């Protein structure tokens, strides 16, 4: 939403617009009343939803509501090529049983990898059990994808973004390695704990967990696996940056029991109480000490807070912008969409125009005996 454009120069949304979009439209997307219990017995298994292709009328209604809002926001003609910056959007393709990353660079290379923007957003947002999978075609109709939530297989896409930059020498010709990058990774919080039951005193309800069966364990297992995969990517990226990691790679993640206040439906509850809890959790997260992964040293609590680290990144971006303004050669050379080839209709029209002009010249020749009057 922050990179899509209509005129090729300015994005159609600002950061404030995206927040308002989610806050105002969320009630239409998530119509189910969130359960106060953390048990998954009253909710359909998300794996079952993938296999059966849906979870009832409620999922269909929410899917239709989201598709309507996506089409109104992006229109039907805006594609991955209509972005002002390089963009990577992950999802999981059920047809190939593999992660899929929608890329602006790939879309500019071939129409076979160019998809409509509203469909891309719809696919990466298609959380199984809440929204239906998104079957989509590329602009030229040659590539088919059945996409579901990108967080299933790529809860932390930092490594994918770094790999894309290091291998995209056409757009990033001066990037030699990770030492030339500044990476800010924003986590979505450790949500696994929010799916576990608690007692009235706020402690883990161990006796209730002992009675859980397969159905109750589905959501906690999925979120535990997602959190573990995100942490693994964090460690791998920290190892890749090595000694320059503390200055060139920053990971901001909500830690501690703050996530438990929002409940199991923290990311899908549109109620004002949950929104308020999320705002309070965000403020608390910014005040927390930053936690960084150390080369073969586990994790280390930094002396700076997450807010101070964000201020540091902002300052580095300002300095980099000033340095780039003094350079002769551009640091980043974004690909531009190639001119569309002229089809048969245009050639036929050109032939007819040429024939008409030729006949007109012949008529003048017969009337005046020469073409000097032209």
Rounded to whole angstroms, the Cα distance separating 6 from 11 reads 7
Please tell me the distance from the alpha carbon of residue 6 to that of residue 289, in angstroms, as a whole number.
40
Residue 93 φ/ψ region, left for φ over 0, alpha for ψ in the -120 to 50 degree band, beta for the rest: beta
- Nearest-CA neighbor of 290 among 298, 299, 281, 282? 299
The CA distance from 317 to 310, in Å, is 11
- Give the pLDDT score at 140: 93
- Domains of the chain: residue spans and CATH: 1-27+62-154 (no CATH), 157-326 (3.40.1090.10)
Q: Which of 82, 93, 149, 234 is catalytic?
A: 149
Q: Count Cβ neighbours within 10 Å for each residue of 239-258 and write b for 16 or more, e otherwise.
A: ebbeeebeebbbbbbbbeeb
User: Tokens 């929002």 belong to which residue?
Assistant: 262
Cβ-Cβ contacts under 8 Å for 112 (sequence gap 6 or more): 138, 140, 142, 143
The alpha-helical segments, DSSP class H, found in the chain are: 15-29, 46-52, 57-74, 104-109, 117-124, 158-167, 206-210, 214-241, 245-248, 272-287, 306-325, 344-368
Per-residue pLDDT of the chain (374 residues; tens, 9 = 90+): 788 888 777 888 888 888 778 777 777 777 654 444 444 444 444 444 443 444 555 888 889 988 998 998 899 999 999 998 889 999 999 999 999 999 999 999 999 999 999 999 999 989 888 899 999 999 999 999 999 998 888 889 999 999 999 998 888 888 888 988 999 998 877 766 666 777 777 677 888 889 999 888 888 888 888 888 898 899 999 888 887 767 889 999 877 655 555 565 667 777 778 778 888 888 888 898 988 887 677 788 888 999 999 999 999 889 988 888 887 777 777 776 655 554 444 444 444 444 544 443 443 333 334 333 33
Token digits of residue 30: 């998530």
Distance CA 227, CA 208 (A): 23
Amino acid 50: pLDDT: 41
Both tokens assigned to 366? 């017969």
Q: How far apart are CA 23 and CA 17, in angstroms?
A: 10
Q: In the prediction, which pLDDT does 205 show?
A: 84
Res 338: pLDDT: 59
Buried b or exposed e, range 199-234, using 16+ CB within 10 angstroms: eeeeeeeeebeeebeeebebbbebbbebbebbbebb
Look at residue 53 in the predicted model and tell me its pLDDT.
42
Secondary structure (DSSP) of 170-215 = TT-TT--SGGG--EEEE-----GGGGS-B-TTSSB-HHHHHT--HH
End-to-end CA distance of the chain: 55
Name the nearest CA neighbour of 41 among 199, 207, 211, 206: 211
Q: What secondary structure does DSSP assign to 267-322, as a single string?
A: TT--SHHHHHHHHHHHHHHHHSEEEEEETTTEEEEEEEEHHHHHHHHHHHHHHHHH
The residues, ordered by sequence, that sit 6+ positions from 168 with a Cβ below 8 Å of its Cβ are 86, 105
SS3 137: strand
> Other C-beta atoms within 10 Å of 158: how many?
21
pTM summary value = 0.75
Total residue length of the chain: 374
For residue 114, the number of C-alpha atoms closer than 13 Å in the C-beta half-sphere is 17
For residue 349, the model assigns a pLDDT of 45
Q: Judge whether 76 counts as a catalytic residue.
A: no
HSE of 244, CA atoms in CB hemisphere, 13 A: 10
**Cα–Cα distances in Å, from 314 out to 85, 123, 172, 271?**
18, 31, 21, 32
Q: Tokens 């990226």, residue?
A: 237
């Amino acid at each position: 939403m922050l990179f899509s454009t209509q005129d090729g120069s300015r994005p159609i949304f600002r950061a404030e617009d995206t927040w308002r979009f989610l806050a105002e439209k969320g009630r239409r997307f998530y119509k189910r009343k969130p359960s106060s219990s953390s048990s998954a017995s009253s909710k359909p298994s998300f794996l079952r939803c993938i296999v059966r292709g849906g979870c009832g009328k409620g999922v269909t209604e929410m899917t239709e509501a989201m598709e309507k809002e996506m089409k109104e926001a992006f229109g039907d003609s805006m594609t991955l090529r209509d972005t002002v910056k390089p963009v990577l959007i992950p999802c999981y393709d059920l047809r190939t049983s593999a992660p899929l990353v929608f890329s602006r660079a790939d879309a500019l290379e071939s129409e076979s990898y160019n998809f409509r923007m509203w469909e891309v957003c719809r696919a990466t947002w298609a959380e199984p059990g809440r929204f239906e999978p998104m079957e989509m075609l590329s602009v030229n109709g040659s590539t088919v994808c059945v996409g579901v939530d990108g967080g299933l297989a790529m809860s932390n896409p930092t490594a994918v973004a770094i790999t894309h930059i290091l291998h995209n020498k056409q757009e990033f010709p001066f990037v030699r390695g990770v030492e030339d990058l500044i990476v800010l990774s924003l986590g979505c919080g450790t949500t696994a704990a929010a799916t576990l039951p608690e007692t009235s005193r706020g402690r883990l309800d161990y006796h209730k967990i002992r009675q859980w069966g397969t159905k109750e364990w589905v959501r906690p297992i999925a979120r535990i696996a997602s959190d573990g995969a995100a942490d693994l990517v964090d460690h791998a990226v920290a190892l890749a940056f090595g000694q320059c990691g503390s200055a060139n790679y920053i990971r901001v993640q909500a830690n501690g029991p703050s996530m438990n206040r929002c409940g199991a439906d923290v990311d899908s509850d549109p109620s004002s109480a949950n929104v308020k809890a999320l705002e309070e959790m965000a403020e608390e997260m910014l005040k927390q000490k930053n936690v960084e992964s150390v080369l073969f040293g586990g994790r280390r609590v930094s002396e700076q807070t997450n807010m101070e680290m964000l201020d540091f990144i902002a300052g580095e971006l300002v300095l980099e912008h000033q340095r780039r303004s003094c350079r002769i050669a551009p640091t980043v050379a974004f690909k531009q969409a190639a001119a569309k080839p002229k089809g048969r209709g245009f050639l036929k029209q050109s032939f007819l125009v040429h024939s008409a002009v030729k006949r007109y010249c012949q008529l003048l020749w017969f009337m005046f005996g020469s073409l000097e009057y032209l």
